[in-house]
């Protein structure tokens, strides 16, 4: 177990809560592990709930966007961005378990029934979080947050997310941060590109606060983003969630996040 802890510490954040997603054949489960309280929260989102995909590909059941992301040769990137777009929740990693149903098997069964070619570290990490938290687990469905409503125009079994679902999710998914430890962050874009409003929510969930936005001719590579700052834990996590280059350096604020317009188009 010590070997696993050392291995995971290099890949995952053990200082702050981490959100993972398991993709099942009939939905997805968002799993939040809080290492401070040793608490596990699982949120089930079932297959009849449709969301708007990142990148402008249209509306699909959330579980199907994982396959769409693969078909578009984007790995799990578009899928994670879709969750950010609709739930305003940062996602660190995903596990492909589309050959079993939501909640039908134990965490240990992930080892035997989920794809392991690229997910094995993430599978082991989820098993570790279950071992670490013991019975300190809370399981909820998206309906518990009054987060869905019927589309109406098709059938009673087709649903969409409520636009204000984040207001109900925020309490459960936000980092436990003292007011003095909140990271002030500046978001800057190249040219005339605009940052989606929900980016501020994602940053807030991660323990940050957007205090400044700006546009200009910044040094950001085509189709990428960059995070700079001195708070190593925070900017490492931002880099992981957004897929940004990480640069450890002091600036005018605690952290500065730069986006190219081509990168922003992928949301």
153 and 42 part of one domain: yes
Structural domain includes residue 174: no
Structural domain includes residue 127: yes
93 and 157 part of one domain: yes
pLDDT at 147: 65
Residue pLDDT tens, the chain, 267 long: 555 555 656 566 556 778 888 888 888 889 888 877 888 888 888 877 888 899 888 888 887 888 888 888 777 888 999 999 999 999 988 888 777 776 655 555 555 566 655 566 777 677 777 767 677 788 888 888 776 665 555 555 567 777 778 888 888 888 877 788 889 999 999 888 788 889 999 999 999 999 988 888 788 888 888 999 988 888 888 998 998 899 888 878 899 999 998 889 988
65 and 88 part of one domain: yes
148 and 225 part of one domain: no
Structural domain includes residue 107: yes
Tokens of 52: 């708007």
pLDDT at 151: 56
Tokens of 160: 């969409």
- Total domains in the chain come to 2
Domain end residue (candidates: 169, 196, 225) = 169
- The model carries a pTM of 0.84
Tokens 């925020």 locate to 170
CATH of the domain at 239: 3.30.70.2390
72 and 154 part of one domain: yes
């Amino acid at each position: 177990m010590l070997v696993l802890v050392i291995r995971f510490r290099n890949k995952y954040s053990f200082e702050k809560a981490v959100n993972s997603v398991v993709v099942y054949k009939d939905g997805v489960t968002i799993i939040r592990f809080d290492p401070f309280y040793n608490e596990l929260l699982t949120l089930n989102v079932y297959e009849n709930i449709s969301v708007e995909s990142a990148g402008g590909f249209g509306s699909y059941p959330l579980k199907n966007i994982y396959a769409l992301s693969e078909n578009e040769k984007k790995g799990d990137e578009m899928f994670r961005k879709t969750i950010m777009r609709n739930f305003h929740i940062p996602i660190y990693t995903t596990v492909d378990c589309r050959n079993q149903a939501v909640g039908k098997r134990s965490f240990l069964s992930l080892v035997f029934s989920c794809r392991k070619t690229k997910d094995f570290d993430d599978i082991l990490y989820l098993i570790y979080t279950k071992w670490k938290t013991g019975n300190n687990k809370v399981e909820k469905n998206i309906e518990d947050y009054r987060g869905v409503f019927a589309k109406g125009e098709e059938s009673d079994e087709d649903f969409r997310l409520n636009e204000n679902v984040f207001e109900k999710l925020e309490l459960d998914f936000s980092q436990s941060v003292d007011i003095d430890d909140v990271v002030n962050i500046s978001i800057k874009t190249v040219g005339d590109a605009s940052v989606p409003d929900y980016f501020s929510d994602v940053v807030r969930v991660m323990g940050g606060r957007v205090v400044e936005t700006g546009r200009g001719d910044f040094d950001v590579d085509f189709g990428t983003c960059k995070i700079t700052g001195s708070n190593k834990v925070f900017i490492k996590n931002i880099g992981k969630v957004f897929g940004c280059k990480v640069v450890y350096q002091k600036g005018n604020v605690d952290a500065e996040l730069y986006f190219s317009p081509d990168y922003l188009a992928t949301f």
